[in-house]
Amino acid sequence: MIATAVLNVEKVSKTFPGQIALDHASLVVNPGRVHALVGQNGSGKSTLIKILAGYHRADDGAKASLLGKELDLVGGTGGVTERIHVMHQDLGLVNSLNSVENLALGRGFHTGFLGRVRWKDENARAKVHLATIGANFDTRIPVGTLTPSERSLVALARALEGWDDDGGGLLILDEPTAAMARLDVTHLFEAVRRIRSRGAGVVFVSHRLDEVFEIADDFTVLRDGKVVASGAVADLTHESLIELIVGRAIADIGTTTHEHAGEPVMEVRNLWGAQLEALDLTVRAGEIVGFAGLVGSGRDELPNLLFGATNRAAGSVSIKGNPVPADPHLAMCAGMALVPAERKRFGSIGHQTIRENVSLPRLRPLMSRGRLSRRLERADVAKWADRVELRPAEPERLFETLSGGNQQKAVIARWLRTSPSVLVLDEPTQGVDVGAKSTIYGLIGQAATEGMGVVVCSSESEELAAVCDRVIVLRNGRAVAELHGSSLSAESIVQQMLR
């Protein structure tokens, strides 16, 4: 390849407090090539993208050039240039406006006399623009009514505004297909190929490996913030790529198996959700069951379906023979507990104290002489803070002032305090530091030892492999595999998830 690289970055590091997200990463994207950037959650992919897009600043020492011109990633303004466009998964379109208006929003409308929008011009421009990437649909209807692939084409067209002359630049597609059906993906890829043929460099981030093989020319694998491999996709096989992504050295979190699983505590029969299809599940006392799956596989909606926080399309859930209605309060009364994902939004009340957050589901036992006793409440919460190793163990602290790990411990304490029969955890270590992670794994194990049935839904395969007795893998809404014993490993989970 003789032409200068579209993008050439070297020695990009990024340190967050207590964590190295990127460690001397490098990436070369050539013109007319699609470059796949792959790696597990937390491998540093999104950090790298965010540095390129100008959201984060790189640590000192990073070098970068774009189309031969130097790019300052350390100063923080480097990424902000017309020649880098990032298309995020959520597309950033205004659904109530039509394609023409969405295209014009970013740069402003072309106006004439008295500020009147020149609609004829705008419409013609938009048509031409969309046609160059192969889009052919009614540009006058709201984008909310378009198909997912058509919407993604509008977003693509908008990203390419101003590239008409020479077609050069860097286009970053950040998991564009995560919520897309197969047919839509095909349409999107056609557009990406057109852009490639115009000489642009494309960075493609995806969890779906068959898509990598379909669209990408080159690849870079990140693991724990480091580049572990880079080269041409043609030299890869499915297996060798998975091996590169997962790596051999899987962190030992101290696996404990609960072979002595007891009586069934939770029975799920023919459960349907928006994505989940016909799930049957029996969880026994003292057992930890994991659920793995990509976004959209049904894994992310399963916890809320069990707890009744979202409506079940069909099916039943029962605990020890008693049906669990689709209502969080009644599910709680039936003996279920849910530690939700997205702590800030769903798991906690940030500007209330730890005490109020922990005691909330169960206040009656804290009544004394007709009133809620602060004394009893403090003592009870202090006991639980101690049990989950909360730091600092100050019940009167505001919840939002704790670190992510300690917030999560407090949410777990809230639910352990209700002594449930079934404990469901959704992404239990999301935004949690390493130290707190092992404490949380310990708490999960202890809950099982005490006889609870535990369900863990997680996007981290290593975590599932280490914590769970068995892992059920969901793909396109269906349970496609159950892994346990020697067949359970981070690799086997990823393999089943991506197939």
Partner 1 sequence: MTADAVELVPAHGSTGTRRSSLSRLAPSRASIVYIYAAGFLLFAIWIPDLWFSWVTHKSVLNISFAVPAIVAVGLVVPLLTGAFDLSIAGVMSASAITSSWLIVDKGWSIYPAIGVAMIVSLLAGVVNGVLVVKVGINSFIATLGIGAVLNAYAEWRSGGLQITGLPNDFKDLARKEILFGAQAKVIYLIVIAFVLWYIIEHTPIGRYLQATGDNQDAARLAGVQTNRYIFAALMTSAFVAGIAGVIQTAGVGAGNANTGGPFLLSAFAAAFLGSTQFKGRFNVWGTVAAVWVLLSLVKGVELALQSYRWLNQLFFGTALIVAVGMSKLLVRRTVRLAGRRRQRDAAEATP
Nearer to partner 1, 134 or 404 (CB): 404
Neighbouring residues of 1: CB distance < 8 A, sequence distance ≥ 6: 30
Nearer to partner 1, 17 or 321 (CB): 17
Nearer to partner 1, 19 or 197 (CB): 19
Residues of the shown chain interacting with partner 1 in the complex, contacts defined by CB under 8 A: 15, 17-18, 307, 309, 328-329, 331-333, 338, 340, 345-353, 356, 359-361, 363-364, 367, 370-372, 394, 396-398, 400-401, 414, 418
Least CB distance from residue 349 to partner 1, whole Å?
A: 5
Q: How far is CA 53 from CA 91, 181, 201, 445, in A?
A: 15, 27, 15, 40
Least CB distance from residue 166 to partner 1, whole Å?
A: 43
Least CB distance from residue 413 to partner 1, whole Å?
A: 12
Q: Which structure tokens are listed for 465?
A: 């492999």
Rounded Cα gap, residues 441 and 389, in angstroms: 12
Least CB distance from residue 460 to partner 1, whole Å?
A: 22
In the 8-state DSSP scheme, what is residue 98? B
Nearer to partner 1, 16 or 119 (CB): 16
Nearer to partner 1, 110 or 351 (CB): 351
Q: For 119-140, give one letter per residue: b (16+ CB within 10 A) or e.
A: eeebeebbeebbebbbbeeebe
How many beta carbons lie within 10 A of that of residue 268, not counting itself?
A: 20
Nearer to partner 1, 209 or 381 (CB): 381
Least CB distance from residue 274 to partner 1, whole Å?
A: 18
Nearer to partner 1, 328 or 442 (CB): 328
Rounded Cα gap, residues 142 and 153, in angstroms: 14
Nearer to partner 1, 199 or 328 (CB): 328
* 73 close to 12: Cβ distance less than 8 angstroms: yes
Using CB atoms within 10 Å of the CB of residue 222, give its burial: 0 to 12 exposed, 13 to 18 middle, 19+ buried: buried
Least CB distance from residue 366 to partner 1, whole Å?
A: 8
Rounded Cα gap, residues 437 and 429, in angstroms: 6
DSSP structure string for 306-375: HHTSS--SEEEEEETTEE--S-HHHHHHTTEEEE-SSIIIII--TTSBHHHHHHTT--GGGEETTEE-HH
How many beta carbons lie within 10 A of that of residue 274, not counting itself?
A: 13
Least CB distance from residue 344 to partner 1, whole Å?
A: 9
Q: How far is CA 162 from CA 31, 81, 125, 213, 237, in A?
A: 18, 12, 12, 30, 38
Rounded Cα gap, residues 372 and 279, in angstroms: 42
Least CB distance from residue 306 to partner 1, whole Å?
A: 12
Q: Which structure tokens are listed for 6?
A: 């579209």
Nearer to partner 1, 121 or 400 (CB): 400
Neighbouring residues of 434: CB distance < 8 A, sequence distance ≥ 6: 18, 19
Least CB distance from residue 385 to partner 1, whole Å?
A: 14
